[in-house]
Amino acid sequence: MSKDKVFVGLQHAVANCRRCDLWKTRNNPVLGEGNLNAKILFVGEAPGFNEDKQGKPFVGKAGEILDQLLNSVGLKRQDIYIANVLKCRPPQNRNPFPAEVKACSLYLHSQIETIKPQKICCLGNFATSFIMKKFGLQDKLEGISKIHGKTFTVSTLAGTIKIIPLYHPAVATYDAGMLEPLKKDFSILMEA
């Protein structure tokens, strides 16, 4: 099956998904957006207010920061794919519950298996934990302030994947001082 067809199926699946209770309060699911042949996959946490409204990832304030960071290393949204761990917005942007992450995991697994990225950039603690556990790196898991900017290389049947945890761009929306460490992390991502 073509990548496009897989993603059409996934879009349909999340639009009708009731695997956890978040379907009750969401307006639009956010599967993700970008280039299905991207070498770099970004994984965030969950849709926020604006994402839920528009059905697209990182279109609010965190998205503005993300665009700035992508720009700083010469990347455009069309070059990459952006997904989240959860496809529906948690009420008041609360943290995802473990049961929600588990219920939603099949979609992100399928996105990763279809896109086959060479690098996975984990934005924040939830994405880092999900991706590191998926690839058997749970023993190396640390909080994002310790682990950000490190590179982990894993071999899979689809080839080698580099996993790079970064701070979540939203941290720079309430602490402008975080922009510099974020930029540094993004340059590490390009060199990895």
Q: Residues interacting with ligand SF4, by CB under 6 A?
A: 14, 17-20, 22-23, 29, 86-88, 100, 103-104
When computed from its CA atoms, the radius of gyration of the chain, rounded to whole angstroms, is 15
> What phi and psi, each to the nearest 5 degrees, are found at residue 132?
-65, -35
Question: In 8-89, which ranges are E strands?
Answer: 32-34, 40-44, 81-84
Among 29, 34, 44, 117, which residue sits at the site for ligand URA (rule: CB under 6 A)?
44
The alpha carbon of 69 is separated from its chain's Cα centroid by a whole number of angstroms, namely 15
DSSP at 135: T
Among 34, 55, 57, 96, which residue sits at the site for ligand URA (rule: CB under 6 A)?
57
| Nearest residue (beta carbon) to ligand URA | 44
Is 103 buried (19+), middle (13-18) or exposed (0-12) by CB count in 10 A? middle
Site string for ligand URA, 10-39 (x = CB under 6 A): ------------------------------
Closest distance of CB 91 from ligand SF4, Å: 12
Q: Which residues bind ligand URA (CB under 6 A)?
A: 44-48, 51, 57-58, 62, 84, 170
